[in-house]
Amino acid sequence: IMSTCLLEMTPIITDPNTLVLGEGVRRLHVSSAFKAKVAMSRFEPGTSISYEKLHENIDIVRKRLNRPLTLSEKIVYGHLDDPVGQDIARGRTYLRLRPDRVAMQDATAQMAMLQFISSGLPKVAVPSTIHCDHLIEAQIGGVEDLKRAKEVNQEVYNFLATAGAKYGVGFWKPGSGIIHQIILENYAYPGVLLIGTDSHTPNGGGLGSICIGVGGADAVDVMAGIPWELKCPNVIGVKLTGSLSGWTSPKDVILKVAGILTVKGGTGAIVEYHGPGVDSISCTGMATICNMGAEIGATTSVFPYNHRMKTYLNKTGRADIAALADEHKDDLIPDKGCKYDQVIEINLSELKPHINGPFTPDLAHPVSEIGAVAEKNGWPLEVKVGLIGSCTNSSYEDMGRAASLAKQALDKGLKCKAAFTVTPGSEQIRATIERDGFSKILRDVGGVVLANACGPCIGQWDRKDVKKGEKNTIVTSYNRNFTSRNDANPATHAFVTSPEIVTAMAIAGTLKFDPETDYLTAANGEKFKLEPPNGDELPARDFDPGQDTYQHPPAESGSVMVDVSPTSTRLQLLEPFDKWNGKDLEDLQVLIKVKGKCTTDHISAAGPWLKFRGHLDNISNNMLIGAINIENDAVNKIKNRLTGEYGGVPDVARHYKANGLSWVVVGDDNYGEGSSREHAALEPRHLGGRVILVKSFARIHETNLKKQGMLPLTFADPTDYDKIRPDDKISITGLATFAPGKPLKGVVKHGDGSQDIITLNHTFNENQVEWFHAGSALNRMKELQ
């Protein structure tokens, strides 16, 4: 049966409640219509969409807790390794879960696969995929940029392709599209639990999935068949009433929520949308909202299963899954009477278009007010570049609505006053908007269609129109707008909004343009207003799949070779970190006391550094080069306490390590906010760091630090941050009895001979304490083999 299935590429229904899937959705042209078929191979693990098993686990937990469950709880608890014995308490206990699938983007997949190779395991235990989307630099246009990326990154792409083939991991080639769009089109489905090595993995929540961003070490656990740990999340409910219309878009929902909750308001929680307003949002619109939930620190976000999701599943060749979801809908929506830890209510009929920024994604403004706010704050009003696309807003609907505005401008003889770029989310989206004429309209209005990749959203942008340090404004439909993120220019004021507002502002050329009330001047001098955008949710003629860019793992991989040259500058096999020596950590030198916001972009910058993501020593040269040193308000300039000279942060860290001096970083609130990149945890460990001591952590980064044998600690009294001086040494005591729930002590030794004793909290559980003892989670995995 399996052989027949593999040849015919059709789903196997083993019973009425279970659909068995394999590694990837194979695309076939049949009678000019797109049909996605799912293949299963006997040689690699399949995914069982077992709604019966999900229901069984939910029923066990509901009876144990004796209360109605939220949708988030149903899916998460439905994947418990031990639903009978698992201790369950929101915000307190650690859950042991069995995710259905792993997805990795190419920048993080390098380190994840290097760690998996180090584990010594022969094959992945769950279906897993690699997606090549991060290493393509936006420079000229899609075709040229993709060709250049394949040449520049040939060594890395070859490593990922062969490692995938060797260990049973599907490989989506460069040009396939952005990981989260590929997941939505192919792998997400209502009720699935998926982890991805990218912070915007929650995008899949738009299809009723629990999709969570993690570091590569977490992915290795799941690929190794080990239960994955997650602190039992709280659940924030967002009740939507009314309906979207006019210029208001799904993006405005999350822009509003970000303004309410701020960049750390969702930490430790799943955001669950519900209410009658949900049905007015398309499936890809729901994905947009879930995607940007990463900007409020949420574990993930999710919407309940509805007819919009069913339509999307049918249109992307997954009618069988939609039929099963219909049969089990009660497990894919929240129970009546379920309780949320916090509830926010938004009336979509009253919601106005928003734009957030600059420099942080939670600084929310109505579009009608941004011009006045910008004038008051001295932000540049001229929009230099408008950029639409990214994993957040690159759907068919997004592109169609943007094109409807561009067409209005063209009809009046106008083109964009600002530069304008367009990033399709996937090869399927690119091919379909090309066929349906959207790409031509967007090019005609002045746009450049870039490759199906992340591009400028993650700093992969060879920008030429302004010099570094030149103050300017850009507007994007992206998700993140930290200082220097898009173009490495700290003076760029980046604003996040919907594709529709980006397009309108690119046409007008100014931040001081409200398309709901303001007029444009046509080529003939006539004044006119843009009509509200419109666009079909999904293409009337089905999707055009474009080129087949998926590589299925071979049935036999014994002859596949995965080579890493010892002289490579881009790839480096890993050496195990040292185990804990059984003693307290004495006299750790403060390497840097960080002032203010410190995201993973500050700790391990992207952009040009992406090329070193597979080479730990080389990428460590970017460690904390974007963090502000409280001693001098400078970046990448700290005092070497051994020499008395100032140098770059990585250079001083290397000097300390060479001289046997371990060190500690001291930071502020929400330390490690942003991307899931575990390099921000690997680099400090590699360069001799032992402790990161801060007021509070972002979830993913804290876990990543634990995985690498670091001690992420927080001040029991946040005001103790002020007691630390840049030249201090700190000893961490109490490690002999290091245990869950038991604080440690910090002895802060000042240069004048005085001391402060402070209490330090941690969130380690018993398994995580063993990671620390072993030197890393990977070391502990090897001990248990």
pLDDT band for 2, please (50, 70, 90 cuts). very low
With a CB cutoff of 8 Å and minimum separation 6, the contacts of 740 are 764, 765, 766, 769
Distance between CA atoms of 134 and 131, rounded to whole angstroms?
9
How many helices (H) and strands (E) are present in the chain, helices listed first? 24, 37
> Letter for the amino acid at 173?
K
Number of domains into which the chain is organized: 3
Q: Find the domain containing 90 and state its range.
A: 51-347
Say whether both 283 and 415 belong to one domain: no
Cα–Cα–Cα angle for 716, 718, 724, rounded to 5 degrees: 100
Strands 300-302 and 269-274: parallel
Q: What token pair was written down for 160?
A: 């990922």
With a CB cutoff of 8 Å and minimum separation 6, the contacts of 133 are 105, 106, 174, 176, 177, 178, 179, 452, 453, 454
The answer to whether residue 108 scores a pLDDT higher than 50 is: yes
Dihedral sign, CA of 582, 588, 592, 594?
positive
Distance between CA atoms of 683 and 622, rounded to whole angstroms?
9
Q: By C-alpha distance, which of 610, 604, 749 is closest to 687?
A: 604
The answer to whether residue 41 scores a pLDDT higher than 80 is: no
From 96, 101, 480, 679, the catalytic residue = 480
Q: What token pair was written down for 426?
A: 């996937």
User: Cβ distance 606 to 595 under 8 Å?
Assistant: no
Distance between CA atoms of 115 and 128, rounded to whole angstroms?
15
Neighbours of 776 (CB within 10 A): 25
The CATH number of residue 324's host domain is 3.30.499.10
User: Cβ distance 223 to 102 under 8 Å?
Assistant: yes
The conformation of residue 505, written as its DSSP 8-state character, comes to H
Beta strands in 583-625 (DSSP E): 585-593
Residue with tokens 């989260």: 180
Residue with tokens 């943007």: 402
User: Cβ distance 252 to 356 under 8 Å?
Assistant: no
Q: 676 or 3: which carries more pLDDT confidence?
A: 676
The answer to whether residue 81 scores a pLDDT higher than 50 is: yes
Q: By C-alpha distance, which of 232, 214, 231, 236 is closest to 223?
A: 214
Distance between CA atoms of 500 and 534, rounded to whole angstroms?
10
The answer to whether residue 9 scores a pLDDT higher than 80 is: no
Burial track 171-195 (b if 16+ CB lie within 10 A, e otherwise) = bbbbbbbbbbbbbbbbbbbbbbbbb
> Letter for the amino acid at 578?
D
The answer to whether residue 446 scores a pLDDT higher than 80 is: yes
From 106, 198, 221, 544, the catalytic residue = 198
Q: State residue 5's pLDDT score.
A: 26
pLDDT band for 676, please (50, 70, 90 cuts). confident
Q: By C-alpha distance, which of 738, 736, 697 is closest to 715?
A: 697
Say whether both 406 and 337 belong to one domain: no
Question: For helices 699-707 and 777-784, what crossing angle results, to 10°?
Answer: 50
The answer to whether residue 25 scores a pLDDT higher than 70 is: no
Q: Is residue 480 assigned to a domain?
A: yes
pLDDT digits (tens, 9 = 90+) for 194-224: 999 999 999 999 999 999 999 999 999 999 9
Q: By C-alpha distance, which of 700, 589, 709 is closest to 643?
A: 589
Residue with tokens 């946040």: 718
From 118, 128, 390, 675, the catalytic residue = 675
Q: State residue 40's pLDDT score.
A: 28
User: Cβ distance 414 to 522 under 8 Å?
Assistant: yes
User: Cβ distance 748 to 755 under 8 Å?
Assistant: yes
The answer to whether residue 63 scores a pLDDT higher than 60 is: yes
Q: State residue 416's pLDDT score.
A: 98
Say whether both 317 and 376 belong to one domain: no
The answer to whether residue 74 scores a pLDDT higher than 60 is: yes
Q: Is residue 22 assigned to a domain?
A: no
Between the CA of residue 44 and those of 5, 143, 168, 556, what are the distances in Å? 14, 34, 6, 10
Q: What token pair was written down for 6?
A: 């593999």
DSSP lists the bridge partners of residue 212 as 195
Residue 502: strand, helix, or coil: helix
> Letter for the amino acid at 377?
N
Q: State residue 49's pLDDT score.
A: 64
Distance between CA atoms of 497 and 495, rounded to whole angstroms?
7
Q: Is 390 an active-site residue?
A: no
pLDDT digits (tens, 9 = 90+) for 161-190: 999 999 999 999 999 999 999 999 999 999
Neighbours of 541 (CB within 10 A): 11
pLDDT digits (tens, 9 = 90+) for 536-546: 999 999 999 99
Domain edge (last residue) among 322, 347, 372: 347
Q: State residue 675's pLDDT score.
A: 86
Q: Is residue 408 assigned to a domain?
A: yes
Q: By C-alpha distance, which of 43, 36, 44 is closest to 11?
A: 36
Q: Is 198 an active-site residue?
A: yes
With a CB cutoff of 8 Å and minimum separation 6, the contacts of 658 are none
Domain edge (last residue) among 347, 363, 387: 347
Residue with tokens 């173009």: 487
Q: By C-alpha distance, which of 515, 481, 591, 600 is closest to 215?
A: 600
Q: Is 64 an active-site residue?
A: no
The answer to whether residue 23 scores a pLDDT higher than 80 is: no
Q: Is residue 523 assigned to a domain?
A: no
Domain edge (last residue) among 458, 487, 511: 511
Say whether both 705 and 722 belong to one domain: yes
Q: By C-alpha distance, which of 465, 462, 457, 507 is closest to 485?
A: 457
Strands 101-105 and 128-131: parallel
User: Cβ distance 502 to 399 under 8 Å?
Assistant: no
Residue 435: strand, helix, or coil: helix
Say whether both 264 and 159 belong to one domain: yes
Least confident segment among 33-37, 361-365, 461-465, 521-525: 33-37
pLDDT digits (tens, 9 = 90+) for 594-603: 999 999 999 9
Cα–Cα–Cα angle for 136, 676, 710, rounded to 5 degrees: 130
Distance between CA atoms of 283 and 312, rounded to whole angstroms?
7
The answer to whether residue 26 scores a pLDDT higher than 80 is: no
What stretches of 66-153 show up as alpha helix (H) in DSSP? 71-77, 106-119, 142-152
The conformation of residue 720, written as its DSSP 8-state character, comes to G
> If residue 714 lies in a helix (H) or strand (E), which one and from where to where?
strand 711-715
The conformation of residue 552, written as its DSSP 8-state character, comes to P
Between the CA of residue 491 and those of 359, 386, 581, what are the distances in Å? 10, 16, 46
Q: Is 465 an active-site residue?
A: no
With a CB cutoff of 8 Å and minimum separation 6, the contacts of 203 are 180, 181, 183, 184, 211, 287, 288, 290, 291, 391, 392
Q: Is 676 an active-site residue?
A: no
Q: Mean pLDDT over residues 457-470, rounded?
A: 95
Q: By C-alpha distance, which of 117, 69, 395 is closest to 235?
A: 69
Distance between CA atoms of 438 and 581, rounded to whole angstroms?
62
Q: Is residue 577 assigned to a domain?
A: no
Say whether both 208 and 325 belong to one domain: yes
Say whether both 335 and 396 belong to one domain: no
From 27, 96, 677, 701, the catalytic residue = 677
Torsion of CA 283, 287, 288, 291, to 10 degrees: 180
Q: State residue 105's pLDDT score.
A: 97
Q: By C-alpha distance, which of 255, 276, 257, 253 is closest to 266?
A: 257
Q: Mean pLDDT over residues 21-49, rounded?
A: 34
Q: Mean pLDDT over residues 601-622, rounded?
A: 94
Q: State residue 563's pLDDT score.
A: 85
pLDDT band for 615, please (50, 70, 90 cuts). very high
Say whether both 254 and 318 belong to one domain: yes
Q: 344 or 33: which carries more pLDDT confidence?
A: 344
End-to-end CA distance of the chain: 34
With a CB cutoff of 8 Å and minimum separation 6, the contacts of 250 are 244, 281, 282, 285, 286, 288, 289, 498
pLDDT digits (tens, 9 = 90+) for 367-391: 999 999 999 999 999 999 999 999 9
DSSP 197-262: SSTTGGGGGGGT-EEEE--HHHHHHHHTTPPEEEE--EEEEEEEES---TT--HHHHHHHHHHHHT
Least confident segment among 11-25, 135-149, 492-506: 11-25
Q: What token pair was written down for 87?
A: 């201790």
From 27, 98, 101, 134, the catalytic residue = 134
Say whether both 108 and 151 belong to one domain: yes
Q: Is residue 40 assigned to a domain?
A: no
Half-sphere CA count of 712, side-chain side, radius 13 A: 28
Q: Is residue 555 assigned to a domain?
A: no
Strands 193-196 and 33-38: unpaired
Percent of all residues in the chain with a pLDDT value above 70, rounded to a whole number: 94
φ, ψ at 311 (rounded to 5°): -60, -45
The answer to whether residue 680 scores a pLDDT higher than 50 is: yes
Q: State residue 569's pLDDT score.
A: 96
Say whether both 204 and 109 belong to one domain: yes
Distance between CA atoms of 473 and 491, rounded to whole angstroms?
9
From 100, 133, 145, 728, the catalytic residue = 133
Q: By C-alpha distance, which of 563, 565, 572, 551 is closest to 168?
A: 551
Q: By C-alpha distance, which of 602, 402, 414 is closest to 504?
A: 402
The CATH number of residue 716's host domain is 3.20.19.10
pLDDT band for 394, please (50, 70, 90 cuts). very high
pLDDT band for 11, please (50, 70, 90 cuts). very low
Q: Is 101 an active-site residue?
A: no
Say whether both 342 and 375 belong to one domain: no
pLDDT digits (tens, 9 = 90+) for 718-753: 999 999 999 999 999 999 999 999 999 999 999 999
The mean pLDDT of the chain is 92
Say whether both 341 and 372 belong to one domain: no
The conformation of residue 735, written as its DSSP 8-state character, comes to G
Q: Is residue 43 assigned to a domain?
A: no
